[in-house]
Structure formats: structure tokens, C-alpha cells
Amino acid sequence: MSAVIENHHDEHDHGPAKGITRWLYTTNHKDIGTLYLWFSFAMFLIGGAMAMVIRAELFQPGMQIVEPEFYNQMITLHGLIMIFGGVMPAFVGLANWLVPMMIGAPDMALPRMNNLSFWILPFAFFILLSSLFMEGGAPNFGWTFYAPLSTTYAPPSVTFFIFSVHIMGASSIMGAINVVVTIMNMRAPGVTLMKMPLFVWSWLITAYLLIAVMPVLAGAVTMMLMDIHFGTSFFNAAGGGDPVLFQHIFWFFGHPEVYIMILPAFGIVSHIIETFSRKQLFGYSSMVWAMLSIAILSFVVWAHHMFTVGLPLAAEIFFMWATMLIAVPTGVKVFNWVATMFRGSLTFETPMLFAVAFVVLFTIGGLSGLMLAIVPADFQYHDTYFVVAHFHYVLVPGAIFSIMAAVYYWIPKWSGNMYDERLGKLHFWLSFVGVNVTFFPQHFIGLAGMPRRYPDYALIFADWNMVSSVGAFLFGFSQLLFLFIVIKTVMGGKKATDQVWEGAKGLEWTVASPAPYHTFSTPPKID
Amino acid sequence: MKKEAKRTLIKLVVAVPLMFAFGFALVPLYDVFCEVTGINGKVFQSEYSEELVTDDGRSIAIQFISTNNENMPWTFKPSEQVMKIETGKYHAATFYVKNTTDKKMTAQAVPSVAPSNAAAHLKKLECFCFEQQELLPGEEALLPVKLLVSNELPSNIKNIILSYTIFDITDYDEEAIAHNQMAME
């Protein structure tokens, strides 16, 4: 794909407005992308600080630092903030920056809605975090907020939690609608669906998932609201409701949600591996079909989160096989990434290090997921640290490593400056070691029977918990290095070329570095 | 905005309330699904049926369990812990209940059957769980259950557990209860 860029400097090239109003009123996809990315970074650090509290408490058996009630609030808020405030806004930010530039569009299709969908997010998280200072404390029922724990037995602040989830949902839905309308209608002539960059494909599928399931989440919290305040009994057995129904509704949202948090990562990693292998990506169309099948399968596997609620045998067998089926398209993707690297002229700049680590560690997380899919085994593993290890392996060295890889890969395009390669590599190695030291031992203590969500544990789990905590502190504090590297790069550094990376392909590398405020005002020509 | 873009936008905007409604539609769908398959242990009231009554039934045990929801001070227990019954015959059992407080209270019992694939074969002609119990201070009562286990019960099931949890619903909204009651029947 090649393109001809015309820089019409004769028509007035108006840059951004000055001062704070630039950010408040902006409808520019690059500004909004930047806002999303900084917001998610802030949430990542807040949620990370909560993880530090959790690991500090678990450093030794017995109650050391916090009260059990506060510990429960920490695990709840850590989960909610990392998912809805960290990973999801980061991917939306990347979509804002990259989707229009990758498809040769001047901006997102609905720029004002874009502004709105970002600016309601800080309010949602302000409300959620303010519940820490309310009577009865913040939500303490875990990020999955199972009823009736989150209705009958919840602290009064649960109403604020429900309202903040509504706002987060509205923001995600608006963001997703914007992405779909942009991709379906604003591609430059010649960018057909099967020529779209994989990141764009991954986001198109993710956006459809968001539109399908975020309203179901909104419905679930609305039912909770009605149970708490309006005397209904959706989830209250005394009034004829059913607590297990809550789990069905929640996981009908929840399982597609976990793919919402990994599909864009698949797109990012495909680009980075292709670039640093200096080869064409192996199996483009199988990548697209794999993502589509993963997305469709995600709607028929939700009950594997609830094998122990007393499902009939036929349902357990169905959900077990459907879950295992997902390993097939996922395996296709991993195979394609490895095949892309095979006999490539590889170099290992920081984004590539993160991408390769993604492939290896995400596969470990996927395999432990396969173990959890086995019904009889799951009765043993359910609600133990093995589950914690599994989903942290797919979310931290999975989703979050891909976001970090994306930042290192595209920041020269965004800021016009190269990041410090030595510091970047240092950040990678600290994170890589930290993540594995934190989460690998959790497999062992989980298999040995340590339950999740408790602030205390039996003495036999003490050693591995201490190791895990040490790893967590290493990983946590090395993210401050990441913050430093990002700020240093934005402030200055070696100027980046337009193409930035030797093997980089795609429309975003044809515009100047840093990317001008307006790109592709006239659509590029694609051969 | 281009016309096609507007069309995409409208489709997506319509999809959102539809999926929101789908979330709520899962509630009745779940009940219907459970009633048809009988898989969540819910047992609904059934009519007297001559066809279910046979003489070539087999002998199984039915075990009664009573649980008080927390904050429910009443005494609540089955008159017999275990009953030997024949499949294909109607049997009656009772639960003893006493309001131990000095207030008039209303209670609702919620049943559950284990193993869950037995639920579809358990037919209740009469059950105190289909209505509420209102007892004066100190009042006691024997609550009846009349049931039949169909001969179709899978032959590997030799023991059925029928469990009731009793809830205090004195302060519940009358209307909400009436509504849920209808949903249950």
C-alpha cells in the first residue's frame, strides 16, 4: 500500500486552540485520543496503587496493614478501575489516534459525540472513587458484584457504583458507535474491508461486541437498582427472584467483555511483529476470520464462569466444549505470529520485546484458561488463586503489555520524538520479570487450594505469597519509569523520521512526524 | 454527514435499547427455560393428573431440609426428616412452623430440589411455598405439601432432597409480592 499525501499549506492550516479549552471543547480525534490515553494512565496508576495495598497485606499471613473491610473495597475497586478505567479507555484512545489515520480518514465520523464520550468518563470515576469516603465505605463485593451480596448486603454507596457503571457504559457505547460508523463509512477509496489494517479490523469487531453487551450490563445494574430501591425481586429469592439469574446476565456481558479487552491487543501485536520481522504478516485473512470466530463464540461460553452453581450436566458439557473450541482460532493467531517471525530479519526494539512477550505470556494465560474450562478440574480450581493467575496472565502481560507496546511503537508518530531506547528496554525487562514473579507463583498456591478474595491465608501459602508480593512491587514501581519515559519523550528527544521504523507499513507512517493536527483532509490514493 | 453514515448510525443507535431490553428479557426467558427443562430446581404447581398415578412405581427416599434465612427467627422444621415413597403415587408431608416473636409476621418459603434433574419429575399438587404464611405472635402451624414423583424419574436417582428456605417478608411491598407470586405460578 502506498499513498500520496498532499499538504495544502495554502488553505489555512488551523492548529489547536490554546489553553484548557483546547482539551474541553476539542473534537479532534488526535486530541481526544491523547486525553483517553492520559486518563487511562492515571487510572492505571490509581488501580496499581490499590494492587500494591493488596500485595502489601498479603506479604505475610495474618492481618498486617488494613482492615478486612477495606481490603474488600481495594480488590473491588482495583478490578473495576483496571478494567473500565485502565484497559478499555486505553484501547479507545488508541482507536481514536490510529483508526482515522490507518484508513485515510480526516477524523472520526461523530466528533462531538467523541468529545462527550470522553468527558463523561472522569465523572464516572470521580463518583466511583468518592465512594471510598462515604459512610459504609466503597463497594466491597468484588468487581463481579454478584447479587444479593451487591444488593441486600451491600454498603449504601452501591447506588453511586451503579450510577458510575451506567456512565462508563454510556461512554463505551458512544465510543463503539463512533468507531463502527467511522470504519464503515470513512475509509479512503481503495481501502476495502479485507485490505484494512488488522488493528482496524480488531476494533471493528470489538465495537460490535461493546454495542451488544454494554447495554446488557446496564440492564443488570438497573435491575440491582430496582431491587435495592423499588422493592422488586429480580435477584431476591424471598420475593421469587433468583440469584443465579444475576450470574447468567452478568456473564452474558462479562465473557464478551474479556474479549473486548484482548481483541485490540491482537491487532496491535500483529502490526508490531510484522514491522520488526520485516516481512509481510503471515495469514492476514485467517487472522480476520479467527477474530470473528472468537467474537461469535464469546456469546455462547458465559456459563464456564459458573460451573459450580449447579448447572445440569448437559449444560456443563456444552459450555466446556464451546470454551475449548475458542482455543482453535486463538491457536491460529499464535501460529500466524510465530510464522511471521520465522526467518524474518528480526530486531528487538522495545515495542517488539513487549509484543514477543505478549505472544509467550498470553499463551500461558490461554493454556491455564483451557485447564479451567475442564469441568471436573474447575470444581477444584474455581475461586482459587489459579483463576487469579490465569486472568492476570491474559490481562497484564496480555492486554497491558500490548498497550505499552503500542505506546512505544506509535509515540514517535504522536510526539515526533524517539523514546529513549535504553530506558525503554530497562522498563521492559523490569516489567517482564516483575509480572512473572508476581503471577507465576499464584498458579502454585491456587492449585494448592488458596482461595481468592481473602485478606489472610494459611501458613503453608506464606512463601509463595511473599515472592508474589516482591514481584508486584517490582512491577508496580517500574511503571513509574514508564511514566518518566513517556513524559521525557513528549518533552523532547531525537527527532523521528516520518516512517519511524524501517519495516513499518501503513498509511499512518506516510504522514509527517509528529502527525499534523489534521491529516488526510483529502483522501490518500491507494494503489 | 453522508447518507450511508447516517444509516449506519441509526442502526447502531437502535441496537442499543434493543440489547438493553434483551437484558431484561433474559429474566422471563430464564424462568421459561427453567420451567420447560426444570433445571434450576424450581418446581411449579401442577394439576392433579390421573395419568401419572401408577402401581408399578419403585421405592425412593425423599429427604426434607429446612433453612432459615438470616434474620428469620421462626422455628421451621420438617415433621419427618426422611420419607420412603413410591414413584407414581401421591404422598403428603408436613412442616412445623412457629412464630417465636411477639409480632405478627409474614413468611415466604422458597423451595429447591436436588439433584436438579429430578425437579422436572417432582409434581406438587399443593405446597405452602405457593402462598405466604401469616402468623400471630406465638402461633404455630403444620404446613402441608402434597407431591408425586413421576415414574419417569431417571433410574439412577434413588434419593431426592427437597429443601425450603423461609424468608421474613413482613415489610415487603404488597404489590411487588403479588407480582412475583404471579410470575412464579
Q: What DSSP string describes A423-489?
A: HHHHHHHHHHHHHHHHHHHHHHHHHTTPBSS-S---GGGHHHHHHHHHHHHHHHHHHHHHHHHHHHH
B33 in contact with chain A, both atoms CB, cutoff 8 A: no
Q: At what angle do helices A462-491 and A29-57 cross, to 10 degrees?
A: 150
Nearest to A405 by CA among A522, A510, A266, A304: A266
pLDDT at A359 over 80: yes
Q: Which of A2-6, A241-245, B22-26, B141-145 has the highest mean pLDDT?
A: B22-26
pLDDT at A8: 47
Q: What is the per-residue pLDDT across B43-70, written as a single tens digit (0 to 9) for each?
A: 667 777 777 777 788 899 999 988 888 7
Helices (H), A109-157: 111-119, 121-130
pLDDT at A1 over 60: no
Q: What is the per-residue pLDDT across A145-163, written as a single tens digit (0 to 9) for each?
A: 998 899 989 999 999 999 9
A438: which residues sit within 8 A by CB, 6+ positions away? A55, A392, A468, A469, A471, A472, A474, A475
Task: Judge whether A519 counts as a catalytic residue.
Answer: no
Q: Which residues of B touch A212 (CB under 8 A)?
A: 15, 19
Q: Mean pLDDT, chain B, as a whole number? A: 83
Q: Which residue has the higher pLDDT, B126 or A62?
A: A62
Is residue B133 within 8 A of residue B124, CB to CB? The reply is no
Q: How far is CA A453 from CA A53, A83, A86, A148, A457, in A?
A: 13, 17, 21, 17, 10
pTM of the predicted protein model: 0.89
Beta bridge partners of B61: B84, B159
pLDDT at A306: 94
Angular region, B93: left φ>0, alpha ψ -120 to 50, beta rest: beta
Asked whether the beta carbons of residue A185 and residue B17 sit closer than 8 angstroms, the reply is: no
| Helix, strand or coil, per DSSP, at residue A104 | coil
Nearest to A488 by CA among A395, A383, A417, A398: A417
Q: How far is CA A358 from CA A41, A271, A278, A403, B166, in A?
A: 19, 13, 19, 10, 51
Among A78, A279, A392, A427, the one annotated catalytic: A78
Q: Which residue has the higher pLDDT, A374 or B33?
A: A374
**Chosen from A114, A152, A165, A181 to mutate, greatest number of chain B CBs within 10 A:** A181
Asked whether the beta carbons of residue B2 and residue A213 sit closer than 8 angstroms, the reply is: no
Domain boundaries of chain A, sorted by first residue: 30-245, 262-512
| The architecture CATH gives domain A262-512 | Up-down Bundle (1.20)
Task: Judge whether A146 counts as a catalytic residue.
Answer: no
Asked whether the beta carbons of residue B172 and residue A110 sit closer than 8 angstroms, the reply is: no
Torsions phi, psi for A242 (to 5 deg): -145, 115
C-alpha cell at B84: 420412603
pLDDT at B35: 72
**Chosen from A165, A216, A257 to mutate, greatest number of chain B CBs within 10 A:** A216
Task: Judge whether A255 counts as a catalytic residue.
Answer: yes
**Chosen from A177, A193, A244, A317 to mutate, greatest number of chain B CBs within 10 A:** A177
| B48-55 LR contacts (CB < 8 Å, sep 24+) | B48/B125, B49/B123, B52/B88, B52/B123, B52/B148, B52/B150, B52/B151, B53/B88, B53/B89, B53/B90, B53/B148, B54/B87, B54/B88, B54/B151, B55/B88
Give residues 64 to 103 of B whose Cβ lies within 8 Å of A. Answer: 69
pLDDT at A13 over 70: no
pLDDT at B42: 63
Is beta strand B82-86 parallel, antiparallel or unpaired with respect to B90-98? Answer: unpaired
Give the closest of B12, B19, B110 to A180, CB-based: B12
Q: What is the per-residue pLDDT across A439-469, written as a single tens digit (0 to 9) for each?
A: 999 999 999 999 999 999 999 999 999 999 9
Q: What number is the ipTM of this complex?
A: 0.87
Q: What is the per-residue pLDDT across A291-310, written as a single tens digit (0 to 9) for each?
A: 999 999 999 999 999 999 88
B11 in contact with chain A, both atoms CB, cutoff 8 A: no
Asked whether the beta carbons of residue A241 and residue B24 sit closer than 8 angstroms, the reply is: no
Task: Judge whether A330 counts as a catalytic residue.
Answer: yes
| Helix, strand or coil, per DSSP, at residue A418 | coil
pLDDT at A104 over 90: yes
Beta bridge partners of B147: B91, B124
Q: Mean pLDDT, chain A, as a whole number? A: 94
Q: Which residues of B touch A313 (CB under 8 A)?
A: 117
Over residues B89-114, the mean pLDDT reads 88
d(Cα A79, Cα A82) in Å, to the nearest integer? 5
% of chain B with per-residue pLDDT over 70: 88
Q: Which residues of B touch A177 (CB under 8 A)?
A: 9, 12-13, 16
Task: Judge whether A478 counts as a catalytic residue.
Answer: no
Asked whether the beta carbons of residue A215 and residue B172 sit closer than 8 angstroms, the reply is: no
The dotted CATH code for B41-184 is: 2.60.370.10
Q: Which residue has the higher pLDDT, B133 or A172?
A: A172
Q: Residue B130's closest chain A neighbor by CA?
A: A240
pLDDT at A56: 97
Task: Judge whether A508 counts as a catalytic residue.
Answer: no
Over residues A403-417, the mean pLDDT reads 97
Q: Which residue has the higher pLDDT, A12 or A316?
A: A316
Asked whether the beta carbons of residue A239 and residue B108 sit closer than 8 angstroms, the reply is: yes
pLDDT at A166: 97
Of the pLDDT bands very low, low, confident and very high (cuts 50, 70, 90), residue A316 is very high
Helix (H) or strand (E) holding A296: helix A284-297
Domain boundaries of chain B, sorted by first residue: 1-37, 41-184
Query: Closest approach of chain B CAs to the CA of A496, in angstroms?
Result: 35
Query: Closest approach of chain B CAs to the CA of A429, in angstroms?
Result: 43
B184 in contact with chain A, both atoms CB, cutoff 8 A: yes
Task: Judge whether A410 counts as a catalytic residue.
Answer: no
Task: Judge whether A521 counts as a catalytic residue.
Answer: no
Q: How far is CA A188 from CA A214, A270, A288, A507, B125, in A?
A: 30, 22, 20, 10, 69
SS3 assignment for chain B:
CCHHHHHHHHHHHHHHHHHHHHHHHHHHHHHHHHHHHCCCCCCCECCCCCCCCCCCCCEEEEEEEEEECCCCCCEEEECCCEEEEECCCEEEEEEEEECCCCCCEEEEEEEEEECHHHHHHEEEEEEHHHCCEEECCCCEEEEEEEEEECCCCCCCCCEEEEEEEEEECCCCCHHHHHHHHHHHC
pLDDT at A271 over 50: yes
pLDDT at A184: 95
Asked whether the beta carbons of residue B5 and residue A213 sit closer than 8 angstroms, the reply is: no
Beta bridge partners of B124: B45, B147
Give the closest of B16, B41, B173 to A215, CB-based: B16
pLDDT at B174: 60
Q: Residue A183's closest chain B neighbor by CA?
A: B5
The dihedral built from the CA positions of residue A118, A122, A125 and A131, taken in this order, carries a sign that is negative
pLDDT at A527: 65
Task: Judge whether A9 counts as a catalytic residue.
Answer: no
Of the pLDDT bands very low, low, confident and very high (cuts 50, 70, 90), residue A393 is very high
pLDDT at A11: 46
Over residues A370-394, the mean pLDDT reads 96
Give the closest of A220, A313, A315 to B23, CB-based: A220
| Helix, strand or coil, per DSSP, at residue A417 | strand
Q: Residue A215's closest chain B neighbor by CA?
A: B20
Could you tell me the fold of the domain covering A30-245?
A: Cytochrome C Oxidase; Chain A (1.20.210)
Is residue A433 within 8 A of residue A379, CB to CB? The reply is no
Q: What is the per-residue pLDDT across A196-227, written as a single tens digit (0 to 9) for each?
A: 999 999 999 999 999 999 999 999 999 999 99
A38: which residues sit within 8 A by CB, 6+ positions away? none
pLDDT at A109 over 70: yes
B61 in contact with chain A, both atoms CB, cutoff 8 A: no
Q: How many other C-beta atoms lie within 10 A of the C-beta of residue A379?
A: 11
Asked whether the beta carbons of residue A180 and residue B177 sit closer than 8 angstroms, the reply is: no
d(Cα A203, Cα A287) in Å, to the nearest integer? 13
Over residues A331-336, the mean pLDDT reads 97
pLDDT at A9: 46
Give the closest of A109, A173, A310 to B5, CB-based: A109
pLDDT at A187 over 60: yes
Q: How far is CA A391 from CA A194, A231, A236, in A?
A: 32, 36, 30
Among the listed ranges A15-24, A518-527, B79-88, B112-121, which one has the minimum average pLDDT value?
B112-121
d(Cα A183, Cα B78) in Å, to the nearest integer? 64
Give the closest of B8, B20, B41 to A184, CB-based: B8
